[in-house]
Amino acid sequence: MTTNNEKNKIDSKVPQGPLAEKWTEYKAHQKLVNPANKRRLDIIVVGTGLAGASAAATLGELGFNVKNFCIQDSPRRAHSIAAQGGINAAKNYQNDGDSVYRLFYDTIKGGDYRARESNVYRLAEVSNNIIDQCVAQGVPFAREYGGSLANRSFGGAQVSRTFYAKGQTGQQLLLGAYSALSRQAQKGSVKLYTRYEMLDLVIIDGKARGIIARNLVSGKTERFSAHAVVIASGGYGNTFFLSTNAMGSNGSAVMQIYRKGAYFANPCFAQIHPTCIPVHGENQSKLTLMSESLRNDGRIWVPKKKEDAEAIRAGKLKPTQIKEEDRDYYLERRYPAFGNLVPRDVASRAAKERCDAGYGVGPTGLAVYLDFSEPIQRLGRDVVEARYGNLFQMYYKIVDENPYETPMMIYPAIHYTMGGIWVDYELQTSIPGCFCIGEANFSDHGANRLGASALMQGLADGYFVLPYTIQNYLAGEISTPRFSTDLPEFNEAEKGVQERIDRLMKIQGKRSVDSLHKELGLVMWEYVGMGRTKETLEKAIVEIKRIKKEFWSDVFIPGDGKDQNTELEKAMRLADFLEIGDLMARDGLLREESCGGHFRLEYQTSDGEALRNDEKFSYVSCWKYKGEDQEPEMLKEDLNYEFTKVQQRNYK
C-alpha cells in the first residue's frame, strides 16, 4: 500500500472563526436556491433509515424533487428501527450541568480525539432542534410524572441527556421520519422506490449525476438520473458476519462510490458493543443487542473466585448463589467516577479482559453478568419493568431465563462503524455532487461512538445539516437541464454492473455465499476484532485474500441473474465485504497506536488502557481506490484541535 504525506491536500472546507460561531456563519453566507429553481432540481437519496428518511422528507418539503431508494419493502424496515436506548441532546432539563459545549466535549473525548472539532460542535449545537422536531411529529418520548420529557444517562457522560421511548427509541423516531416522508410522497415531491438496490454511481463530467439500481423484485437493472446523489445506506458492521445489524445491512453503496473516487475514511474504527446476548451456536446468523440504557441501573459483575466461575460454567452453581462479597463489580472497581457507564470501547475491553483471565461465565466462558437484583430491591419491580420491560421480555424469549430473577448474560459484539466515506464540512464526498450522511460517512464520532449518538447524528444530518449544505452545491446547478439516462456514461455504468453479475453467475462452484461470509467473519473477529496486533492484521490480509480468491472461483449462486435472486444479492454484498475487510486490516496495520475501538495490544498503558500517539496519528486516514487488485493509496486529513485540550482519556 502507498501513503501520501502531503499536508493539507484534503480540504475539509471548515469555516474560519470561533468554534461556536462556525455553523451560524456558514448558514449566513452560504448560497441558496430559490423556490422556483428547487422544482427544477432532482436529488437521489439512497437509504430510508433515520438519515435517509429525514433528508428525503426535508428536501421534499423544501421543494426539491427527490427519488428515495431502499432495499426493504417499506422505509419503516430500515435498521434504524432496531435502536433501543435513546437519543442525546443538550437540553439540560435535569439542571445537572449539561450544555452544548459539554455534549461536544464528551463526544470528542469519547471518540478518543480522532474526530473533526467543527463537525462535532455542530452536531451538539443542532441536537436540541432534533428533540423539538420529533416532539412536534408526535414521537412518544418518555415523560416525568409532571409531563416534562424524561432523561436517562448513557456511557461516557456524567449528566442525564438521553431522551428515550422505553427501549424502542429508534422505532419511534423512524416512524416520525416515515410520517414526514409519507407526507412528501403523497404530495409528489418524493418518489419512493422500495425493493431497489443501488449497484453503481454514474459520473458525468466529474460530477455525480445518477445511479444504476437493481429492482429486487423483477431482477432488472434500471437507470436513474439526478443533479446530486446522497448516500445514506448505513454502516458495514456485517463484514464480521455476526453483528447486531440486520442481515440485510451492507456496505455496498459506500464501496460503489469508493470505487468511483470517494475516499474511505478510518475503516478500522469499528465499535464493539459491550451488552449483547452472547453467541449460542455455530449456526447463528446474527446477534442481539441489549440496550446500553440497562447500564443505568444494572450492575456488571463476574465471580471474584475462579473456582466459582468454573462451577458456573459446569452448571454446578447458579449466579444467584454467589454471595455479594464474592462478586467483582469490575467496572465500578476500575472506573469509580463513571462506574458501569464508561464508554463502550472501555466496557468491552474490560469484559474481554475478565473472560480471558478465566472469570467468564456461561457455557463458553465468554459472558459476564448484568444484574438487576439491587435496583429491583431499591426501586421495585414495577419501576424497573416500566423502564426496561420490552428489553427484559426480548431477553427472556431468546435465552429462556427470567432477568427479573437471574442476572442477564452479556458479551461484546460488533455493533456500529465509525469509519465510512470521507466527507467535508458540507457532508460532500471527494466526488462533486455526491453527499454521504449518517453512519455511512466517517461520522462525527472519531474512534468510538458514545451511546445514543447514532440517532442524533442521523437526524442532525438529515433534518438540519444536509438541507443547508447541499444548496451551496446545487446553487451552481440551476441552469443544468435534467439528464437523459441514455447518455454514454449510463450505458457504461450499466454495462459494468451487468458484467459483474454475469461473472458471478458463471462461477457455479461448490461453496455457498453464507459459508464464505462466515469464514470471513471468523477471520475478522479473530484478527481484526477487539484486540489487534501487527501479526494478526498481517494474517488477516493474507486470509482475506485467500477467501476472496475462493469466492471468485468457487461460489455457487443458484437461479438466474435476470430474475429475483436473493443469493445473487448476498454474493454481490459479500464481494464488497471482502474489500472492506481488507481495507479495515490495512488501516489498522498502519495506525500504530490504540484509540477508541481500535486497540493494538502493543500500544497500551501499564493498566491496560488505550495508548494514543498524537504526534504521528492525529489524522483521518483517507483511502483512495487505485483499481481492481491494486493496493489503495492512503491520504491524510490532519486533525488540528484549536479549541480542545487533547489528553489521555480518563474515566476513573
Tens-place pLDDT, residues 55-83 = 999 999 999 999 999 999 999 999 999 99
Q: What is the mean pLDDT of residues 39-44?
A: 98
Q: 117, 232, 249, 153: which is closest to 451 by C-alpha?
A: 153
Contact 340, 332 (CB under 8 A): yes
Which CATH number does 273-412 carry?
3.90.700.10
pLDDT value at residue 443 = 82
Look at domain 488-638 and name its CATH class. Answer: mainly alpha
Percent of the chain with pLDDT over 70: 99
CA–CA–CA angle 274, 277, 280 (5° rounding):
130
C-alpha cell at 303: 465471580
DSSP 8-state assignment for residue 12: -
DSSP 8-state assignment for residue 248: T
Positive or negative, the CA dihedral 134, 140, 146, 150 is negative
Classify strands 228-231 and 42-46 as parallel, antiparallel or unpaired: parallel
pLDDT, tens digit, 9 for 90 and up, residues 334-346: 999 999 999 999 9
**Is the pLDDT assigned to residue 592 strictly greater than 70?**
yes
pLDDT, tens digit, 9 for 90 and up, residues 508-548: 999 999 999 999 999 999 999 999 999 999 999 999 999 99
Give the position of cell 475491553. 349
Question: Cα(237)–Cα(82) distance, rounded to whole angstroms?
Answer: 14
Element (H, E) at 225: strand 221-225
pLDDT-derived band at 281 (thresholds 50, 70, 90) equals: confident
pLDDT-derived band at 8 (thresholds 50, 70, 90) equals: very low
- The b/e string for 184-206 (b: 16+ C-beta within 10 A; e otherwise) is bbeeebbbbbbbbbbbbbbbeee
Question: What integer best gives the mean pLDDT of the chain?
Answer: 96
**Is the pLDDT assigned to residue 119 strictly greater than 90?**
yes
What are the boundaries of each domain within the chain? 273-412, 488-638
Q: 335, 402, 330: which is closest to 372 by C-alpha?
A: 402
Q: Radius of gyration of the chain from Cα atoms?
A: 24
Element (H, E) at 393: helix 381-399
pLDDT-derived band at 108 (thresholds 50, 70, 90) equals: very high
Predicted model pTM: 0.97
| End-to-end CA gap in the chain | 39
Classify strands 633-638 and 327-328 as parallel, antiparallel or unpaired: unpaired
Contact 170, 177 (CB under 8 A): no
What does the chain come to in residues? 652
pLDDT, tens digit, 9 for 90 and up, residues 184-207: 999 999 999 999 999 999 999 999
pLDDT, tens digit, 9 for 90 and up, residues 355-376: 999 999 999 999 999 999 999 9
Residue by residue, DSSP assigns 122-175 as: HHHHHHHHHHHHHHHHT----B-TTSSBP-B--TT-SS--EE-STT-HHHHHHH
Percent of the chain with pLDDT over 90: 97
pLDDT value at residue 612 = 98
pLDDT, tens digit, 9 for 90 and up, residues 598-624: 999 999 999 999 999 999 999 999 999
Contact 60, 187 (CB under 8 A): yes
Catalytic pick among 122, 209, 344, 449? 344
pLDDT value at residue 3 = 52
Give the position of cell 447518455. 487
pLDDT value at residue 575 = 98
**Is the pLDDT assigned to residue 393 strictly greater than 90?**
yes
- Indicate the SS3 state at residue 482: coil
Contact 414, 530 (CB under 8 A): no
Distances (CA, A) of 345 to 67, 146, 342: 38, 36, 8
Q: Any catalytic annotation for residue 573?
A: no
pLDDT, tens digit, 9 for 90 and up, residues 289-319: 999 999 999 999 999 999 999 999 999 999 9
pLDDT value at residue 1 = 55
**Is the pLDDT assigned to residue 462 strictly greater than 80?**
yes
Q: What is the mean pLDDT of residues 88-111?
A: 97
CA–CA–CA angle 646, 347, 356 (5° rounding):
120
Element (H, E) at 345: helix 344-354
pLDDT-derived band at 6 (thresholds 50, 70, 90) equals: very low
